[in-house]
Chain A
Amino acid sequence: MDRIPILKMGPFLLVTIQVDLYDRLALNLENDLISMVSKTGARGVLIDISAVSIVDSFMGRILGNIASMSRIMDAETVVVGMQPAVAITLVELGLTLQGVYTALDVEKGMELLRDKIGVMNDPEEDEEEPDDSND
């Protein structure tokens, strides 16, 4: 298996990572996601990592890259479902995923994305959570 399936859900793309990624797979994911964002004009990317038990600096960098690249193409990225042990380890490693939004689960991630995009679509509307994003 060399590719991770990407699901299109309305204006968003959803990726559920279910296997331990080796480097090739992770790099493919980065490429595939970015070209999907560009092709579909998606406004948000949800990456569900609740089944991932190890995130090292390589994997962390890929997540960061996806977020930065998507942002340039006007899409926000939310990483959802990180396991507690993974979060504790990443902090100790020194990787806090600056610039990547996070949410507890897919549902809350969607909400967050809708919020972000809603604000961007309608500048009149007041942002109700001023700057409580994760960057």
Chain B
Amino acid sequence: MNKIAQLLQNNKKQILESWMQNQLADASLRDDLISNEELRRQSDELISGLARATSSGNMDNIYTPEYEPVVEILSDISITRARQGFSPRETGMYVLSLKQAISTVLEEKYSEQPEVLYKELITTHKLLDNLSMVTFDTFIKGREEVILRQTDEINEISTPVIRVWEGILALPIIGTLDSARTQIVMENLLEEIVNTGSSIAILDISGVPAVDSLVAQHLIKTVSATRLMGAECIISGIRAEIAQTIVHLGIDLSNIKTKASLASALQLAFSMRSVEVRKINKNTGFSLTR
């Protein structure tokens, strides 16, 4: 059996203690985020896994079946830490401080044999460096997941469908309209059309910073889907510069009802529903009659 595997097995307790001390000594470790016992349990599991993996003799390729459990544990820890809001440093320190712990024990054991010590130290460092790459990989993946989820949430809350009048929905779109967002806008809008039995939807794009051909395509898709359901779409909030780009890009919106402001779109919607809006002369208020 090779020396490192042996060391990991025979000196497990010592390594674990030293490793735990290294981790806890690290001023940055957030004990508000993880308990000592939890940390000890994970660390214990990892050393055992590493002992089993290294006993195969393979010390450099961690993408083999014998390393699967180790990689698995490391990935889990990194993903969990990413989700819990640990910094990359805190996450990376986990496996890097094990390097230090094993090195210390190696040094004690082979202080009389500098050649062996040198060789084993190099092997250990290489192996643990490889494993730390796994940590960073999965850490980043974990953060990406968090970002994706947050994007979804933002998309969800930033596309409200408002019932402005019986049979008339309004949907103010704020921010860029990419394909994921369009999907959510469409789903929300169509669901609401079914729920409320509305036959007119106003898509207000005053809050959309720029309309390029892709955004226009997304708008056209939304309008088409609304029509298929049996409702009409009006696009409002078309600013001068948007009108210009639309024409310059050669985008055809001639089949779509467009209005400059939400107010005029609403007026159109009212007339389509045969609702009349007029002022009452004795008051400043106005009344809506059907």
Contact = CB atoms under 8 A, between A and B. Distances in A.
Interface of B is mostly: helix
A25 B225 CA distance: 26
B227 A134 contact: yes
Nearest to A50: B194
Interface in A68-101: 79-84, 86-88, 90-92, 96-97
Interface residues of A, number: 24
B230 interface: yes
Nearest to B231: A104
B80 interface: no
A87 B229 contact: yes
A80 B230 CA distance: 7
Contact of B228 (A91, A105, A128, A132): A91
Contacts of B232: 132
B229 A84 contact: yes
Nearest to A107: B197
Nearest to B190: A84
Interface in B189-226: 190-191, 193-194, 197, 199, 221, 224-226
Contacts of A91: 221, 224-225, 228
Interface residues of B, number: 22
Contacts of B183: 88
A108 B191 CA distance: 17
A91 B220 CA distance: 9
B154 interface: no
A104 B229 contact: yes
Contact of A88 (B187, B230, B272): B187
A88 B190 contact: yes
A79 B187 CA distance: 20
A84 B257 CA distance: 21
Given A104-B193, A128-B274, A87 B228 contact: yes
B221 A82 contact: no
Contact of A102 (B191, B221, B227, B257): B227
Contacts of A44: none
A90 B231 contact: no
Given A84-B187, A108-B199, A128-B274, A92 B228 contact: no
Contact of A132 (B186, B187, B272): B272
Contacts of B193: 84, 104
B229 A82 contact: yes
B230 A90 contact: no
A94 to B, nearest CB: 10
Interface string B164-197: 0000000000000000000100110011011001
Given A80-B230, A82-B230, A104-B231, A88 B225 contact: yes
A129 B234 CA distance: 14
B186 A88 contact: yes
Interface in B220-261: 221, 224-232, 257
Contacts of A37: none
Interface of B: 183, 186-187, 190-191, 193-194, 197, 199, 221, 224-232, 257, 272, 274
5 contacts: A80-B230, A91-B225, A96-B227, A104-B230, A132-B232
Q: Which 9 A-B pairs have the closest CB atoms?
A: A84-B190, A102-B230, A103-B230, A87-B228, A104-B230, A87-B225, A91-B225, A91-B224, A96-B224
